[in-house]
Structure 1
Amino acid sequence: MLQIALREFDGLLRKVFPKIFSSSLVQHEMVGNYSHLLTVPGSEPDLEPYMLLAHIDVVPADEADGWDAPPFSAQELNGFIYGRGTIDNKQSVMGILQALEYLLEQGYTPRRSFYIGLGHDEEVNGLHGAANIVKLLKSRGVKLQYVLDEGLAVLDGVISGLDGPAALIGISEKGQATVKLSVSSAPGHSSMPPRESSIGILASAVKRVLERKPDTNAFVRTTTAVTMFNSGVKINVIPSYAVAFVNFRIHSAQTLQEVLELVKSTVSDERVKVELVNGFDPLPVSSYDENTFGYQIIKKTVQSMFPQLTVAPGICVGNTDSRHYKDITQDIYRFAPSWFKPGDPQRFHGVNERISIQNYEEIVLFYFQLIQNNDIRKLPPPHSSQHEL
């Protein structure tokens, strides 16, 4: 079923963006069967290329969960487009391609080469889409000035203490660890319970781990979530085995190893076995000073569209396809100008995911301007006027 949907979407892209797929300028390749790699060569090949990323896959959705419109209908209601993927991440997929389609219609040829990578399995770690696109680019010796992917957005009233809306550009993303905690003990009958059961021992250990979790937001620290807790096979049998899985999203100030050591010292019980199921370190922090080409191009594009916005670096709390690109670029940024107001973050992977028609138009315009702004050879001196872009 998934493969059929991906094939149908491929057909839709070719139909909706005829200039892209018929242009002699744009080289299109399918990677990993369903992902797309577009190469747009520039007229000045000595300029280091950049890359725009988005992903075409989405998480499941069920109309029975209470959607105001069928989740795969793209129905318009009260100025909004409803549908799974409208903010994760079809808005960027279609925004990037629509911007390029408009530019090609105008006879545009970039000075700086760029790539577009559309992965098909980001929601399940991107191991067949993004990873294979990177493998192909590495085989060709490609090095990128910067990469721009999904991640952070324009937050308006979402972060307490922040006056007015702000565009946060992700300069890193959290690492991740799934840790298994387990306890084995002698089984028994519930009529003669021991002082401590496997469930009690494990529950105490998990409680100690969770007590370290502050109750403030995920942008500034490592977060902890118990995602599974299993034990028992019969109502009157004290189980011999109990297991829990804890998921950590690791802040850039910590490493995977530090989190593991912290868990072990916090549990501090030899009866509890602590095992790493999988995980990886946070991504390196990308440059964001006044002389950093990619960050400043993104920032100035946002400021030219939304002069009222504060633009600042931030940490992306989720994981994106861009983490696969760290070997071919030093600077990875995670941002699209999607507007999130109070209540909107809950729509992400949730019910009634939607985007306003106006915001989608803004996203298209953002990529339309960004592509052209990348054509300068180098940044203007700091504090000079923005019109030089």
Structure 2
Amino acid sequence: MKKIKKVALIFGAIFLLFLIVTVYNAFAVKSKQPEPVTTTIQINEEEAVARFSEAITYQTISYQDRTKFDLPEFDRFIAFLEGSYPLVHEQLELEKINGYSLIYKWSGKDSSKNPIGLTSHYDVVPVLEGTEDNWEQDPFSGIVADGIIWGRGTLDDKIGVISILEAVEHLLSQGYTPEQDMYFMFGHDEEIGGDEGARVIAETLKERGITFEFVMDEGGAIVENMVPGVSQPVGVVGISEKGSATAELSIEGSGGHSSQPKSSTNIGRIASAIAELEATQFKHDLKGPGKDLFEFLAPEMSFGMKYIFANQFIFEPVIENILLKQPATAALIRTTIAPTIFHAGEQYNALPEKASAIINLRLMPGDSLEEVKEFIEETIDDEAITVKLDGSEATNVSSPHSKSFQTIQQAARNVYEEVVIAPYLMFAGSDAKHYESVSMNTYRFLPVQITSDDLQRMHGTNEQISVENYINAIKFFTELIMASDKLEATD
């Protein structure tokens, strides 16, 4: 009996110690958010909206087939910029890359400091044929109605180009000069990879020996109800983007009449391989940008959630299981598998001699193409199936603790005082990846507050942005340019 009591006392003491330590950890986490300094920037909103509205009317559409580009329309857009932002074009140096991508250089007071780079793109995706009538307003009208600006590019990503130029024009009108050089780089083919735009811009600047303190592109945005336990809107800044690869699984063998099928057909074996991949999945792990996201959010959570996330070293398996239940959060912690295309057969009563499937994979930082291919081959375990893999690995992970990241945080908080700014892993692609070779850090953030419906509209029907969001984007870039004056070079 005494032994039982002794054991109970020991377990009680251990539990009490556990409770003290974990509760202390929950109370000890400190906010990583800078105190906002409410922006006092005043701009002529009516004129700024009118310029953005006109920018939307230029059909600067990117097509996979580059021969379909309406290049005169791109020329008209560039001419529109020159006429709309006279101070920018008088006082900054403009260089055209491959005729249509633009580099604006703003010389600062001290050119020995690492420059800052802000980048966006002005090309847009086509309107899907057959959906034109589904738009409430013409997709290239730029109509402003009931506080909403309509049209392709209002979200992706003419808003970035125009907001930056509005900010620079405003600062020039105030006689402002930045401390260090600043570059504004606008691609014309981001929607098809940026190979003739951002990639060549980066290569050109690298040849000149230019290294940026940081580059910021589009990417994350401000969203509500993103994370349980966080009541405020959350602004996510991409510190890396997942790699994108395409795997082709193919098999060849005898076909024959469908009345006498083998027990294992070409279609069946490819289907089994896909089923095995979906059932197995890549290993999940809360690390890197995903882990950073919750470290920044934990201090802002309600106590119950804060308790769990402040003690990740104990509750990590529980957290991971929760994250795996939703596709958006599962993608934060593992390489994803998405079968997208299946090819097999031509006639209902003939077994196909060939079958193939295409799988899109989004690679976590640290997962190499070689490792991904090896995982696929080992998982399907079928020597008759050939696996071909092509694509790119994830980008480098930029620091969420750098002065550059804090500068972006500060600018965002000055405009959106209640928003929590945190790092995250971007799932889609951007031009930012091209600038890694010329920048200490690359970040991805579109400074607007959007809804889940807006995310669907980005490449879809009824793309739009509120006037308030657009004006706040101008204020953000103005704040960011001024806040960058306080940056010190990275060691």
Shift of 1:164: 2.2
Provide Cα deviations, 1:92-120, integer angstroms capped at 9, x if missing partner: 01100111111112222211111011011
Cα offset, 1:215, TM superposition? 4.9
Q: 1:158 deviation in Å?
A: 4.1
Match for residue 154 of structure 1? 222
Letter in 1 for 2:470: Y
Within 5 Å, give how 1:41-190 maps onto structure 2. Answer: 41-62=107-128, 63-64=131-132, 66-160=134-228, 162-190=230-258
- Describe the superposition over 1:303-344 as per-residue Cα deviations: whole angstroms up to 9, x where unpaired: 111221111111111111110111111200101212122322
Q: Which residue, out of 341, 345, 351, partners 2:455?
A: 345
- Pick closer, same or farther for the CA change 1:8–1:220 going to 2, 3 Å: farther
Alignment partner, residue 50 of structure 2: none
Q: C-alpha displacement at 1:361, in angstroms?
A: 0.2
The match for 2:52 is none
The structure with the larger Rg is 2
| Structure 1 residue matching 2:437: 3-state secondary structure | coil
Residue 409 of structure 2 corresponds to residue 286 of structure 1: no
2:291 maps to none
Contact 1:232 1:242 in 2 (8 A): yes
Instruction: Structure 2 unaligned segments of length 5 or more: list them.
Output: 1-68, 282-323
| Aligned: 1:40 with 2:106 | yes
Moved more, 194-203 or 357-366: 194-203
The residue type paired with residue 263 of structure 2 is R
Q: Is the 8 A contact 2:414 2:479 kept in 1?
A: no
What do the CA deviations read for 1:145-198 (whole angstroms, capped 9, x no partner)? 010001101111244554320111111111111111001110212222222221
| More strand per residue | 1
Cα contact 2:226–2:234 (8 A) shared by 1: no
Deviation per CA, 1:253-284, whole angstroms, max 9, x where unpaired?
533332222211221111211111x2111111
Please tell me whether the aligned partners of residues 81 and 354 of structure 1 are also in contact (alpha carbons under 8 angstroms).
Answer: yes
**2:110 & 2:434 partners in 1: Cα distance?**
27
Structure 1 alignment gaps of length 5 or more: 380-389
The equivalent residue for 1:365 is: 475
Find the counterpart in structure 2 of residue 202 from structure 1. 270
Identity in percent: 36
SS at match of 2:261: coil
Once residues 196 and 5 of structure 1 are traced to their aligned partners in structure 2, the CA distance between those partners, rounded to angstroms, is 55
Q: 1:85 to 1:158 in 2, by over 3 A?
A: farther
User: Secondary structure of the residue that 1:271 maps to in structure 2?
Assistant: coil
- Is structure 2 residue 382 aligned with structure 1 residue 314? no
The answer on whether the counterparts of 1:82 and 1:354 sit within 8 Å (CA) in structure 2 is yes
| Contact persistence 1:176–1:256 (CA under 8 A) | no
Q: Distance in 1 between matches of 2:243 and 2:481?
A: 30
Q: Is the Cα–Cα contact under 8 Å of residues 152 and 463 in structure 2 kept in the other structure? A: yes
Distance in 1 (alpha carbons) for counterparts of 2:334 and 2:158: 29
Per-residue Cα deviation, 1:73-110 (whole angstroms, up to 9, x for no partner): 11223321121111111110110011111111222221
Distance in 2, matches of 1:101 and 1:64, equals 35
1:17-70 Cα distance to aligned partner (Å, 9 max, x none)? 12212x1x3100110121001111101122210100101111111453611111
- Over the residues paired in the alignment, what is the CA RMSD in angstroms? 1.7
Out of 356, 365, 372, the position equivalent to 1:259 is 372
Tell me what 2:439 maps to. 329
1:103 counterpart SS class:
helix
Q: Secondary structure at the residue paired with 1:110?
A: coil
1:111-158 deviations in whole A, cap 9, x for unaligned?
Answer: 111101101111111110011101110111101101000110111124
TM-score (norm 1): 0.92
Higher mean C-alpha deviation, range 340-349 or range 52-61: 340-349
* 2:343 alignment partner in structure 1: 230
Taking structure 2 as the reference length, the TM-score comes to 0.73
Q: Secondary structure of the equivalent of 1:157?
A: coil
